[in-house]
Structure 1
Amino acid sequence: MYYPMYFDPTYVLVLIGVVICMIASAKMNSTFNKYSRVRSHSGMTGREAAETILRRAGIYDVRIERISGNLTDHYDPRGKVLRLSDATYGQTSVAAVGVAAHECGHAIQHQVGYAPLQIRGALVPVANFGSTIAWPLILLGLFFNSQMSQVLLNLGILAFSLAVLFQIVTLPVEFNASRRAIKILGESNLLYPDELSGTKKVLTAAALTYVAGAASAILQLLRILILTGGRRDD
């Protein structure tokens, strides 16, 4: 099959991944923005909701801090710090309470020793290193034509696979945190049943961004395998 000069047909896989991520991100932003305009009946801010949830779970050694940015919320298990963004920390919306509860879900996972969270934590350094070193190794492997090239290609694929594995392990961690959040919000009456519906939509949209990220990483790995397949078979 003839392709125009310099055109790499496997790049289509990258473009598909980019489109998937853009769609998921747009869905997340639009859903969050919609429910960030819906004030919760309790009038609790994201920070107050987080404090209440952590106390109910018997967690008293987790600090709650404000972090700049929009949707930069996260839980740091190493420092036991729950960081809430400007859009969550002091806001009383259904979306803010839901996101705060989700991050509390991660704190609870940490407390009970939730296995996928522990695995993800262990993968963080190797996944970061793998995503950084993978392409340099692969490009060097494609450049040389020797036994060393096979070693470099295999190491590059292994390194990138670790980054993909991190994305995959992240999925059950995020879905489980959202399930915990919905359950806690319902049982504690922090949100009314009609408000929970909106919160579920926000957290579902957020989860889809992780699904999109994993799908994009898998497509990139597939591209690498296609690009290096011929060289590794020689």
Structure 2
Amino acid sequence: MFFHPMDFLILIAFGVSIWAQFRVKGNFNKWAEVPTRSHMTGADVARRILDNNGLSHIPIEVVPGTLSDHYDPLSKTVRLSEAVYYGASIASVSVAAHEVGHAIQHAQSYGALVWRHRMFPLVNLTSGVAPFLLLGGFLFQSLSLIGVGIIFFSAAVAFQLITLPVEFNASSRAKKLMLAEGMIYNDEERGVNKVLNAAALTYVAAALISLLELIKYVMIFFQGNQDEE
């Protein structure tokens, strides 16, 4: 397949994505060395925020891995990596509070999160099929296959775009709750911002890559239509 003008922008976006991944790890490692003045661990912060927001029934579990932290909406469980669960650092409490932010979103039926959950089964299917449809369309020069592939791929792009407000809102909730409840002090907010903003950038980069790829396929599709006329 020939080099498309959009490929240059996609390569730049890939570069940003790789840089963002390094930044996430770098910021986490840096602020993992800075202890919280409250001496609270990630588990302490998560438990207190949950309890103070009427979510004392939601358990917190330790999971293996690095930066494997997540909120599971199916089992309604906050899962924290060992470094976050046991760590009493700026990085640990930032990540823990962020994941609890998702639990609060779920409990309050936050709009973007609700749509994200509803889209997941569809996206799980379309994201696996779309690459084969697009590849088949280009190999057999079939605009019909490319068109269907674009529709399927669009669902995956929409899923990534709707993930952005979900992640930003969870981070915003995390910072406000920790400050309001005295878990971090004002002078510690800078470190929290560094950790959470770096993580958010990875989602932005991933969404940008997918969006640029979608635009590229749409441009190829319409160019193909024009060539057939």
Place the TM-score, normalised by the shorter chain, in its bin: over 0.9
Output the CA distance in 1 between the equivalents of 2:28 and 2:75. Answer: 28
The letter of the residue matching 2:160 is Q
Output the CA distance in 2 between the equivalents of 1:63 and 1:151. Answer: 49
Deviation at 1:65, TM superposition (A): 0.9
Question: Normalising by structure 1, what TM-score?
Answer: 0.91
The letter of the residue matching 2:58 is V
Deviation at 1:7, TM superposition (A): 5.2
Equivalent position of 2:88 in the other structure: 92
Residue 3 of structure 2, aligned match among 4, 8, 13: 8
Output the CA distance in 2 between the equivalents of 1:13 and 1:136. Answer: 23
Question: Normalising by structure 2, what TM-score?
Answer: 0.92
67-76 or 164-173, which deviates more: 67-76
- Contact 1:186–1:193 (CA<8 Å) still a contact in 2? yes
The letter of the residue matching 1:175 is F
Q: Give secondary structure in 1 for the equivalent of 2:54.
A: coil
Percent identity at matched positions?
43
- Contact 1:40–1:191 (CA<8 Å) still a contact in 2? yes
2:20 counterpart of 1:27:
no
Output the CA distance in 2 between the equivalents of 1:105 and 1:170. Answer: 14
Map 1:162-181 onto structure 2 (within 5 A).
162-181=155-174
Residue 206 of structure 1, aligned match among 190, 194, 199: 199
2:40 counterpart of 1:44:
yes
- Contact 1:142–1:228 (CA<8 Å) still a contact in 2? no
The letter of the residue matching 1:14 is I
After TM superposition, which residue ranges in structure 1, 4 or more long, deviate above 6 angstroms?
none
Q: Give secondary structure in 2 for the equivalent of 1:83.
A: strand
Cα gap change, 1:91 to 1:174, in 2 (>3 Å): same
Map 1:114-153 onto structure 2 (within 5 A).
114-144=110-140, 149-153=142-146
Instruction: Provide structure 1 residue ranges, at least 5 long, that are not aligned to the other structure.
Output: 1-5
Deviation at 1:75, TM superposition (A): 0.5
Deviation at 1:130, TM superposition (A): 1.8
Output the CA distance in 2 between the equivalents of 1:87 and 1:21. Answer: 24
- Contact 2:31–2:90 (CA<8 Å) still a contact in 1? yes
The letter of the residue matching 1:132 is G
25-34 or 186-195, which deviates more: 25-34
Map 1:210-221 onto structure 2 (within 5 A).
210-221=203-214
Equivalent position of 1:188 in the other structure: 181
Instruction: Provide structure 2 residue ranges, at least 5 long, that are not aligned to the other structure.
Output: none
Residue 160 of structure 1, aligned match among 127, 136, 153: 153
Deviation at 1:80, TM superposition (A): 0.2
- Contact 1:36–1:93 (CA<8 Å) still a contact in 2? yes
Deviation at 1:151, TM superposition (A): 2.9
Output the CA distance in 1 between the equivalents of 2:158 and 2:225. Answer: 22
Output the CA distance in 1 between the equivalents of 2:28 and 2:86. Answer: 15
The letter of the residue matching 1:79 is S
Q: Give secondary structure in 1 for the equivalent of 2:34.
A: coil
- The CA RMSD measured in Å over matched residues stands at 1.6
Equivalent position of 1:53 in the other structure: 49
Equivalent position of 1:230 in the other structure: 223
Output the CA distance in 2 between the equivalents of 1:84 and 1:61. Answer: 16
Output the CA distance in 2 between the equivalents of 1:134 and 1:12. Answer: 22
Deviation at 1:72, TM superposition (A): 1.3
1:159-188 Cα distance to aligned partner (Å, 9 max, x none): 111111011000110111111101100111
Residue 108 of structure 1, aligned match among 99, 104, 108: 104
Q: How many residues align?
A: 226
